[in-house]
A and B are shown apart, each in its own frame.
Chain A
């Protein structure tokens, strides 16, 4: 495990070569997570790639002002979500919130097997269920379940208590569960 604080210190105080080396190590450590955060919010790989690169350019420019007592990924995560939202706004992309882009896709064509159609229906139900969550619960759910942030990191981003986040996460699951049950009852 790379010592993030040490790398950030090297970046701030080191020579040009050391700065670049420290930044590259920080980027290598976090790039996949950042990409997936962006990818789940954006519609295509190309958009996610552009935004991920922009995120790291922004990190490079602002790292000198970063407070070393804060968590690096929490800070980068916030930049990544903001950049993704900006990209959605500027390109007038559809805000997928990770999942809703697929809701608009056709459930399948006529040649698809029935199992596949059923699977697509279930996928869409779950996506709709997630989208139906209250904003706070949806944010916590996405951050904890998909982005695998710790409660402490989420608390730092959303400026709330860990206890409240656990309750939000739990209730998000319960609401998805209720949503799916209701759909099932309608189908029957």
Chain B
């Protein structure tokens, strides 16, 4: 069988020469190469030259393989699979981080008895309430009732001062009196008694200038 050959055919099939010499080309490619060898002396010379080189490489390769084969223990390949399987079985299976994470998450969301779940929720709620009560009781007190409308909270010290202020504004006279010392208060009361001129007709002469009795004054002074 003859083909119309060209230089481009030669170039294309040149690259198939190694496979052709090793018997690895398809029947069609082999036929093409043989036709080229018949029609082109250059192509044939190239195939012959490469054939010699490949023979040398082949002989080396065979020598090398023989040397390697000689050092192989008997039955090596039949034992190889068993050795690998033994190593696989002895080795604990490695767990990957993602697998571990997913198993933890699965355990969280796995169905649990409803009683256990509600107990856990109730316990959690109680814990939160206790915690918030402790925090509120220790650190913050609602402001004096008259200030509640301002929706603000103050500390204990601020609250006491505010209460005092409220009392002072409501009972100015008493608060001034309460702020005096014992002697000052006594002097004030005596001055007060002495300066009063109004004498009700129902009162006797002895008591016309007194507003408070002795007991009342002493009682009043106890509070100071």
Contact = CB atoms under 8 A, between A and B. Distances in A.
B148 interface: no
Contacts of B72: 45
Interface residues of B, number: 31
A105 to B, nearest CB: 11
Interface residues of A, number: 39
Contact of B15 (A20, A36, A123, A166): A166
Contact of B84 (A36, A57, A122, A123): A57
A122 B91 CA distance: 47
Interface in A10-43: 20, 23-24, 27-28, 31-32, 35-36, 39
A161 interface: no
A176 B88 contact: no
Interface string A103-117: 000000000000000
B195 interface: no
A95 interface: no
Interface string B52-63: 011011001101
Contacts, number: 78
A144 B22 CA distance: 11
A122 B53 CA distance: 11
B150 interface: no
- Tell me what chain A mostly uses at the interface: helix, strand, loop, or mixed: helix
B84 A56 contact: yes
Nearest to A166: B15
A60 B88 contact: yes
Interface of A: 20, 23-24, 27-28, 31-32, 35-36, 39, 44-45, 49, 52-53, 56-57, 60-61, 99, 102, 119, 122-123, 126-127, 144-146, 163, 166-167, 169-170, 173-174, 176-177, 180
Interface stretch (B75-83, B179-187, B208-216): B75-83
Contacts of B91: 57
Contact of A57 (B15, B71, B77, B88): B88
B2 interface: no
A174 B88 CA distance: 46
B17 interface: yes
Nearest to A174: B50
B126 to A, nearest CB: 47
Given A31-B80, A173-B50, 8 more contacts: A45-B68, A45-B72, A49-B76, A122-B56, A122-B60, A126-B56, A170-B15, A176-B53
